[in-house]
Every structure is written in C-alpha cells, then in structure tokens.
Amino acid sequence: MKRLSIGLGLIAVMALPATAIGAPTKTDKREGKRECRQLLDAAVTRANFVQIVKLEARANRRNAFGRCVKVRTSEATSERRHAFKAAKAACESLRPGPDSTHGKPSTPGAYGRCVSEAARKNRAESDAEQRDASLNPARTCRKKQHDEAEAFTAEFPGKNGFGKCVSKEAKAQNDQE
C-alpha cells in the first residue's frame, strides 16, 4: 500500500508542472474580466451583450459573462506566452553563450531585464490591438444608432436591431480577416 501511494504521489508531483505551465494567471483573468465589462458597457443591454458573446463562444443568457471571461482569459494567456517567446528571441544577443571565456558580464541581469521590458511592451501592443478589434462592432453600431437613427431603424428593425447590427458587423469583420 505504501509503494502504491508513493508511486501515485510521484506521478501527481510530476504532472503538476505540466498543467501549471499553460494555466492562466490572475492577471490574465483580471484582463478578461475587464474586457468583458467594457464590452458589456458598450453593448448597453444584457440582450445585446449575449448576442455579441454568442458569436465568440457557445453562450446563453445565463452564462454569457462567464463564457466571455473564459474566452478572453485564454486569449490573454496565449498573448502572454507569445509576447514572452518573442521577447526572448529579441534579447538573445545579450545572453552569454556557453563558449564565452569571460566571467561575469559587465551588466548582470541585462538579459532578464531586456526580456521583461520587451515582453511587457509586446503584450501592451497586442492588448491595445485586441481591445480595438473586439469592441469595434459594438462601437460601430452604437455610433450608427446615434448618428443615423432613422436609417438604423430602417436597416435593423425590431427590438433587437442593435444585436442584428453587431452580428452583421462582426461577421463582416471576420470575413475580412
């Protein structure tokens, strides 16, 4: 019995780091929640928000916000991972190689600082692009609704005209990509 529990314990300890690598951090979750709150504010009503989220993930009116956060969190996690990999590649010249004959580098920690700064910059740029792209259909429709009210209601009649507009804009945006 002892051998079995030791073996299972070792397997569990070895499996933990493999699952922890791709796990979203608190920052990723916070970013996902922030983006979903911004999207909810832009959509104004809950029904419009549900329409927007249905395009991204399988969601209904009960779990729309949770699905939105889940999708945005996974996107933030992959962005963080890609930004870090790009930063490591960009700062590779600062890393001392195995064949270097000198002892300590003149600026210890230069590689780590470079990677941190580059990853932060890459992630900030991708976050700004993503925010603009994700909120664009709702903002476009809201602007149409305020600027050209009669034309908007003629093109998108009914109670859910805004949702229909967002759906049309999002599909057009996806077709362009």
For 33-69, how does the pLDDT look when each residue is reduced to its tens digit (9 = 90+)?
Answer: 988 888 888 887 888 888 888 877 777 778 889 989 9
Among 65-74, 105-114, 130-139, 143-152, the least confident range: 130-139
pLDDT-derived band at 17 (thresholds 50, 70, 90) equals very low
Write out pLDDT tens, residues 100-132: 544 455 677 788 888 888 888 888 887 777 666
Residue among 18, 54, 74, 108 nearest 62 (CA) = 54
pLDDT-derived band at 19 (thresholds 50, 70, 90) equals very low
Place of tokens 């908007």: 152
Give the pLDDT confidence score for residue 47 in this predicted structure: 86
pLDDT-derived band at 4 (thresholds 50, 70, 90) equals low
Instruction: Report the Cα–Cα distance between both ends of the chain, in Å, rounded.
Output: 58
Of all residues in the chain, what percent carry a pLDDT higher than 90?
A: 7
Q: Let me know the angle formed at the C-alpha of 124 by 73 and 72, rounded to the nearest 5 degrees.
A: 15
Average pLDDT, the chain: 78
Report whether pLDDT(75) > 60.
Answer: yes
Could you give the residue ranges of the DSSP H alpha helices within 44-159? 46-56, 64-90, 110-147, 149-155
Question: What single letter denotes the amino acid at residue 61?
Answer: R
Report whether pLDDT(141) > 70.
Answer: yes
Report whether pLDDT(168) > 80.
Answer: yes
Write down the pTM of the prediction. Answer: 0.55
Residues 6+ apart with CB under 8 A from 23: 77
Length of the chain: 177
Report whether pLDDT(133) > 70.
Answer: no
